[in-house]
Amino acid sequence: MKKTVTYLFILILPGLVCCGNEPFLTTPTDTSNHTPRTLEELQQVLDNDEVMNGTGQQSGTVPSLLVSGTDEITLSGLNQKYLTEQDIQQYTWGDDPFGSKACPDWDSPYRVILYANVVLDGLSKLTNQEQEQGKSIKGGALFFRAFMHYSLAQVFAPPYQPATATSDWGVPLRYSSDVNEEIKRATVQETYESILQDLHQAVSILPDTAAYKTRPSKAAALALLARVYQTMGQPAEALNAADHCLTIDDGLLDYRLFKTPSAGSFPFTGQNQEVLFLSLMSRSNLHAEVNPHFIANYQDTDLRKSLFFYALTKTSKGFCGSYGGSYYLFAGMATDEVYLIKAECQVRLGQSKEALLTLQQLLHNRYVAEALPSLNNPEDPAAVLQLVLDERPKELYGRGLRWTDLRRLNTEGRAIHLSHTYQGNVYQLEPSSPRYTWPIPAIELAFHPDMPQNTR
């Protein structure tokens, strides 16, 4: 996105960004002298793409832990010399995945939340007329806050389960730019209620579409709302949000029109037709290879097999299919995910025929003509659901959604076991393992000793 950055951000950034090993939630911040006060300045805060969308070269916004522990990647001997101890700990679901350093997967989302709260606090001080004119700015800030609280919950809070949501620990919820705001963990129920409240309000005031992919829109907020309800196991609400989203934007890329990329190139860009909202993951995938067992799931007639993956060596593959158009993984909102949410919710609500039609709309653009997957018994809801679930990881590779899928599917009894091998040692992640929830970084607990730690 092309934007104008004024001197305002040179002044405000040093106070907002944590430095060195200081935990972000505790870094003193005094923005009183440089707080943005006009609608233009508040919009510019949200338009700081490097912070809000992770488009800079240093770090994205969505936690890369959403990929590190999945069955999507492997750490072979090819790039082991570049791996840190934390990389290895995260790949093996270890006890100390962050060490004593600051954790970008924690800091970056909370930085986005702080910026969003700066905007919301600034808007609250404007006149009623100005607030009415700035509704889309408020909607954008609410979207960013909800998106980051949700992303944090997928990493640092246990999966949403109605029976335990009011007692399980969620994540700290930040509602103010005031550094003196009390920091404590909400419950999982409180966490998701906050996310839903922000999103419903954002949907009501955002424009249908945005001028730039880096700005939130109603379509993007509805897509995220559908994702959140799906995560919570509420298919009726998720289907309603997905349907509403697709009435605004149902565009799909036709993969048959793309050529197989050469090594080091990327077939898609962050401006492509399917992207509703552009956001990148906190780290690139340069040092990870695609799990060969994962690639085996793609049929030869599946165009994603040649567009998503390229040869690193004769025996290993890398991923080049990011909708971010680079090595940095796309972690935003796109219409292909919304189609898959819609199809899954339809079959879960007893609409198997409709689910197949929804899925076929997507797959028609993903397979060689007349080579779409078929079912022996398309009337069997269990078979239709399995087909949809099989397509999700193939379509949404590397977007940080596989981790959430593993967590929610295991809570319904699908018993998916993970296995990672590193230097000859085999590490297992059992379906009900508490290691599906990453620990709160030690540096945060050092400053907040009363904050409950997650069980390992």
pLDDT single digits (tens) 272-293: 999 999 999 987 665 689 999 9
pLDDT of residue 4: 41
pLDDT of residue 184: 93
31 pLDDT exceeds 50?
Answer: no
Dist CA 420 CA 427 (whole Å): 5
pLDDT per residue as tens digits for the range 334-357: 999 999 999 999 999 999 999 999
pLDDT of residue 420: 94
Which residues, 6 or more positions from 84, have their beta carbon under 8 angstroms from its beta carbon?
Answer: none
Q: What is the mean pLDDT of residues 45-55?
A: 96
**pTM for the complete prediction?**
0.93
37 pLDDT exceeds 80?
Answer: yes
Q: What is the mean pLDDT of residues 56-72?
A: 89
Range scoring the smallest mean pLDDT among 229-243, 371-385, 425-439:
371-385
451 pLDDT exceeds 90?
Answer: yes
80-93 burial: b if 16+ Cβ within 10 Å, else e: eeeeeebbebbbbb
Dist CA 403 CA 357 (whole Å): 27
Work out the end-to-end distance of the chain between its first and last CA atoms, rounded to an integer number of angstroms.
Answer: 41
32 pLDDT exceeds 50?
Answer: no
Q: What is the mean pLDDT of residues 63-71?
A: 95
Q: Which residue has the higher pLDDT, 36 or 28?
A: 36
Dist CA 418 CA 416 (whole Å): 7
pLDDT of residue 286: 58
pLDDT of residue 285: 60
* High-pLDDT (> 90) share of the chain, %: 78
pLDDT of residue 19: 32
Q: What is the mean pLDDT of residues 124-150?
A: 98
Query: How is the chain split into domains, by residue range?
Result: 7-64+72-256+331-447
20 pLDDT exceeds 50?
Answer: no
Confidence of residue 15 (pLDDT cuts 50, 70, 90): very low
Confidence of residue 7 (pLDDT cuts 50, 70, 90): very low
pLDDT per residue as tens digits for the range 85-103: 998 999 999 999 998 888 9
pLDDT of residue 102: 85
Mean confidence (pLDDT) of the chain:
90
Dist CA 107 CA 102 (whole Å): 7
Residue 6's CB is within 10 A of a number of other CB atoms, namely 11
- CATH topology for the 7-64+72-256+331-447 domain: 1.25.40
pLDDT per residue as tens digits for the range 162-193: 999 999 999 999 999 998 888 899 999 999 99
210 pLDDT exceeds 50?
Answer: yes
pLDDT of residue 10: 31
Q: What is the DSSP letter of 82?
A: G
Angle at 112 between CA 126 and CA 24, to 5 degrees: 115
53 pLDDT exceeds 80?
Answer: yes
pLDDT of residue 25: 52
Dist CA 175 CA 114 (whole Å): 8
Closest to 272 in 3D by CA, of 225, 318, 307, 238: 307
pLDDT of residue 308: 96
pLDDT of residue 269: 94
